[in-house]
Chain A
């Protein structure tokens, strides 16, 4: 028994040395599964480096990184010009993976896949299209016998990057939506019920006849939830897949140097129109040079090795052109 305290001291002395370098990050919840996989893989390859990430939400991530309480942040929506101006330090946006948001529905008697246009989606969420047999829906779904069933609109009640992508898309395709509602992680919904999380929205859709809502592609794929295809800017009906999401990112013609770009309603022929990057927010200037070195090394690793792990978790990987641009941008971190 006398040895026990000695052992304890030994263990405590050894433990911290197993991770000499610690980086702390906080932010978006949407990429959390892939981030935690990356950080644990990276830790396995570099046992002396530990990266902690807390998924506290994009808003929290932006606040904490600009206040300097964490080493890096993460967000599902890019920071606004105002936010960048107010921040104490210069922040670089780096896209990590892509997400997509899909329209899901539950109409009794309809098993096949429905097709949606931007007018239908905006019309339903503005409360102008209220029944499933509306002529706008029937026109693009010829051959499907749509019931005279009221549409029960479901949206996210919690502030969410998913809502940001969805409303960003609606703002681009509908001038009414843009002027009356706008885009954001929470908006003033004209109609519908709010449900918490993807699971809440999916649960409500499953339960209620005639329900219609939007959920993350990842959630729909991993839970086998049927969803419809959406007509893109090129005029084709595209179903969300990892490939069509990456295609949306690849088809953006003018990628700005700071990567703050919305890729909803992207022009590509195969592009799924309701897609978005998610970003890491990295300070441009580091006082602690050893930390900076680790951060840069991780970012490069994430772009090369990290990207190969995305598909297992149903995240769409970055297109090649974006990766190369990011490698260049990482070089500016000092």
Chain B
């Protein structure tokens, strides 16, 4: 029941306190000043400038064009993918998405193993990355000594700047041997009963791909989560502490609960990156189009097969099949995004107004 008062508190305008308000009022002052100066010089400037109406109209048009251009680009991509993959979906139909045979030599194409690999590697990445990234964000915003705050934040963001081929190389030469020698044996000993950790341990495979993906999406999740946590009003924390909450209770009840919509958003962005990541994944996933229960087994992703085979694909059906894999990747990304949005909606539905601050 302790949560109720904070919920009530949270009904207040989240933007209200302190600095933000002050800055805003200064901005309005600035603009009024400039308006003043405009008025005094009004006689000298041309009519269109005086009214500012045309300028305003033009600016509006410009922004509208920019916004529409994004929609246009998406529509063009979809149209192009559909047109170029005609040959494949005419020949295979729905079997393309359900079939698991990929044989360029005899011209049989089924994309199921790639779809499976994309989804599973991304899920592994989220399972590893979300707890880590959120922990980093909570530590930095709530408990970190001021001196350390900047360096830790900076270091996590630096991870995002590393090119994915570097991650791939690092994964081949450092991560994979570690997985093979230490982690695989450990997982096998304690979690063999799940059936997820069996078969020969090559090091490369679904688990390696998921792990390197996790490292790649930690920065994006943790930096957005940090911003979201920082936006939680200070008085919420104070109220929780005043009610006798311990620090952990305060973080759980006042901070994390209020920020959960934002955190989910951060996770979705991370998931988006994981679904589309190509280079690092293809270097460690083993590139084998099969569906295996074991996470040690090699797999394949949609982005990887396109990158691997597009340059050397000479005949039309083959090219068209690769295009359809691209289309499937596009659709999977959209479906996953919609599902994630539905998830946010169900999570936040029962909450009071402010959770919808996004």
A contacts, CB < 8 Å to B? 29, 56-60, 62-63, 82-83, 150, 152, 157-161, 181-189, 192-196, 200, 203-204, 207-208
Give the contacting residue for A58; candidates B104, B177, B314; CB below 8 A.
Answer: B314
Q: Is the CB of A56 within 8 A of B203?
A: no
Closest to B106 in A: A182
- State in angstroms the CA–CA spacing of A182 and B106 once bound together: 8
- State in angstroms the CA–CA spacing of A82 and B104 once bound together: 16
A150-B200, A193-B287, A208-B202 as given contacts; A60 in contact with B311, CB under 8 Å: yes
Q: Which residues of A contact B101 (CB under 8 A)?
A: 188
- State in angstroms the CA–CA spacing of A181 and B309 once bound together: 17
Task: Give B260-313 interface residues, CB cut-off 8 Å to A.
Answer: 282-283, 286-288, 298, 300, 304, 307-313
Interface size counted on chain B using CB atoms at 8 A: 32
Closest to B307 in A: A158
Q: Is the CB of B106 within 8 A of A193?
A: no
Q: Is the CB of B282 within 8 A of A196?
A: yes
Q: Is the CB of A83 within 8 A of B314?
A: yes
Closest to A86 in B: B316
- State in angstroms the CA–CA spacing of A159 and B288 once bound together: 13
Encode contact with A along B201-218: 1 for CB under 8 Å, 0 otherwise: 011100000000000000
Query: Does B173 belong to the interface (CB within 8 Å)?
Result: yes
- State in angstroms the CA–CA spacing of A29 and B202 once bound together: 29
Q: Which residues of A contact B309 (CB under 8 A)?
A: 158-159, 185-186
Q: Which residues of A contact B310 (CB under 8 A)?
A: 159
Closest to B105 in A: A182
Closest to A182 in B: B105
Q: Is the CB of A56 within 8 A of B311?
A: yes
Q: Is the CB of B312 within 8 A of A59?
A: yes
CB distance from A130 to the nearest CB of B (A): 11
Q: Is the CB of A186 within 8 A of B203?
A: no
Q: Is the CB of A158 within 8 A of B104?
A: no
A-B contact pairs, 21 of them (CB 8 A): A57-B311, A58-B314, A60-B312, A63-B314, A82-B315, A83-B314, A157-B282, A157-B287, A158-B311, A159-B309, A159-B311, A183-B105, A186-B309, A188-B105, A192-B288, A194-B298, A195-B283, A200-B283, A203-B172, A204-B204, A207-B177
- State in angstroms the CA–CA spacing of A204 and B284 once bound together: 10
- State in angstroms the CA–CA spacing of A40 and B172 once bound together: 35
- State in angstroms the CA–CA spacing of A72 and B284 once bound together: 36
Query: Does B103 belong to the interface (CB within 8 Å)?
Result: yes
Q: Is the CB of A208 within 8 A of B203?
A: yes
CB distance from B168 to the nearest CB of A (A): 8
Query: Does B102 belong to the interface (CB within 8 Å)?
Result: yes
Known A184-B105, A185-B313, A189-B288; further 15 A-B contacts with Cβ < 8 A: A58-B314, A59-B312, A60-B311, A82-B315, A83-B315, A158-B311, A159-B104, A159-B310, A182-B105, A187-B105, A194-B287, A194-B298, A196-B282, A204-B204, A208-B202
- State in angstroms the CA–CA spacing of A82 and B314 once bound together: 11
- State in angstroms the CA–CA spacing of A59 and B298 once bound together: 27
- State in angstroms the CA–CA spacing of A183 and B104 once bound together: 10
Q: Which residues of A contact B180 (CB under 8 A)?
A: 208
Query: Does B176 belong to the interface (CB within 8 Å)?
Result: yes
- State in angstroms the CA–CA spacing of A184 and B204 once bound together: 25
Encode contact with A along B311-324: 1 for CB under 8 Å, 0 otherwise: 11111000000000
Q: Which residues of A contact B203 (CB under 8 A)?
A: 207-208
Q: Which residues of B contact A59 (CB under 8 A)?
A: 311-314
CB distance from A168 to the nearest CB of B (A): 11
